[in-house]
Structure 1
Amino acid sequence: MGHGGNVIAELETDHREVEEMFDRIRALPPRDEKRKDVADEFTIELVRHSVAEEMYLYPAVREHVPGGDAIADREIKDHATVEKLLKDLEKASVGDAEFDTLVAQVISEVSAHIADEEKNLFPALAGVCSDEQLNDLGDKIRTAKKVAPTRPHPGAPSTPPGNKLLAPGAGLVDRARDFVTGRGK
Structure 2
Amino acid sequence: MGHGGDVIAELTTDHREVDELFEQLDNAMPGSERRKQLVDSLTIELVRHSVAEEQYLYPAVREHLDGGDAMADREVADHARVENLLKELEGRDAGDADFDRLVRELRTEITSHVTDEEINLFPQLREGVHGYLLESLGEKIREAKKTAPTRPHPSAPSSPGVSKLLAPGLGLADRARDYVTGRGK
Output the CA distance in 2 between the equivalents of 1:106 and 1:156: 20
Question: What's the CA shift for 1:157?
Answer: 1.0
Scaled by the length of structure 1, what TM-score is found? 0.99
Question: What's the CA shift for 1:29?
Answer: 2.3
- In structure 2, runs of 5+ residues without a counterpart are none
Q: Does 1:128 align with 2:107?
A: no
Output the CA distance in 1 between the equivalents of 2:180 and 2:30: 27
Question: What's the CA shift for 1:37?
Answer: 0.3
Output the CA distance in 2 between the equivalents of 1:135 and 1:160: 19
In structure 2, the partner of 1:149 is 149
Report the residue type matching 1:81 in the other structure. Answer: R
Output the CA distance in 2 between the equivalents of 1:168 and 1:111: 28
Report the residue type matching 2:22 in the other structure. Answer: F
- In structure 1, runs of 5+ residues without a counterpart are none
Give the match's secondary structure for 1:167. helix
In structure 1, the partner of 2:118 is 118
Q: Aligned residues, how many? A: 185
Scaled by the length of structure 2, what TM-score is found? 0.99
Output the CA distance in 1 between the equivalents of 2:177 and 2:4: 28
Seq. identity, %: 64
Residues 66-122 of structure 1: per-residue CA shift (max 9 Å, x gap): 000000000000000000000000011111120111111111100110000000001
Residues 117-170 of structure 1: per-residue CA shift (max 9 Å, x gap): 000001111111111000000000000000000000001111121111101100
Q: Structure 2 matches for 1:60-71, cutoff 5 A? A: 60-71=60-71
Give the match's secondary structure for 1:161. helix
Q: CA RMSD in A?
A: 0.6
In structure 2, the partner of 1:59 is 59
Report the residue type matching 1:170 in the other structure. Answer: L
In structure 2, the partner of 1:32 is 32
Residues 33-54 of structure 1: per-residue CA shift (max 9 Å, x gap): 1000000000000000000000
In structure 2, the partner of 1:15 is 15
Report the residue type matching 1:26 in the other structure. Answer: D
In structure 1, the partner of 2:168 is 168
Question: What's the CA shift for 1:25?
Answer: 0.4
Report the residue type matching 1:18 in the other structure. Answer: V
